[in-house]
Amino acid sequence: RLSPGRPYGWRSEGRLDYPLRFRDYESHPAVTSGGLAIPGTHLGTLRHEVQWVDRHYWDEARRWFTTTKLRGRFATDNASGFYDSRNLAVAEQLNLRTSRWELALEAEYGRWDFPHQPVPAAGGGAHRGLDDWVLVARVERRVGLSWKLFLEYERESVRAADPFDGFLANVYTLGVTREF
C-alpha cells in the first residue's frame, strides 16, 4: 500500500492511497466470457484502488471535522474478463470528537460496472451495473483508558438493471473495542 499525505492550507490534510491486491480463489474456477466454469482452473483477480482522502477541521480544538473520499477501483480476472469491474465512489463524513464521545455520519454513493457481464432481462446489450447508496451513523463512548462502546447503524440500497442484484439492507451493530 502506498499512502502519501500531508497537511495543507488552514487545518486541512490530504492523502492519496494506492493499494494493489491480488486475490486467489482456490475453490472457484475461472470462467469463460459466458460465465461457464473452465475445468482445472481457479479464479484470480488483480485489483487496483486509488483513493483521495481530504480532511478539514472546522474548529481550533479539532473536534468538528469533515472527510471527503473519492475512490476508483479497477479489477481484472485471470481468464476471460468476466469478473472485470470498475467502481467509482464518493463519500462525505461529518464527525464530532470529544474526550469521551465520537459521533459520525457518513453518506456514500458508488457506481459499479461489470463490462463483460450481460443482463439479458434488460435487453439491448445492457451490461451488469449497480448504483450503491450507503448511509452510516455511529456513536462511540470511551470507557476508561482503553475501552470503547459503540452503536452503529448502516443502511445500504443497491439498484441495478438486473432485479436479482438490487437490495435494501439495514444493519445495527452494538459492540465493545479495546485498544492495546
- Per residue in 54-98, pLDDT (tens digit) is 999 999 999 999 999 999 999 999 999 999 999 999 999 999 999
Closest to 138 in 3D by CA, of 167, 168, 177, 90: 177
Three-class secondary structure of residue 40 per DSSP: coil
Q: Write down the domain spans for the chain.
A: 55-178
Q: How many Cα neighbours within 13 Å face the side chain of 144?
A: 9
Q: What are phi and psi of 120, to 5 degrees?
A: -60, -35
- Per residue in 141-160, pLDDT (tens digit) is 999 999 999 999 999 999 99
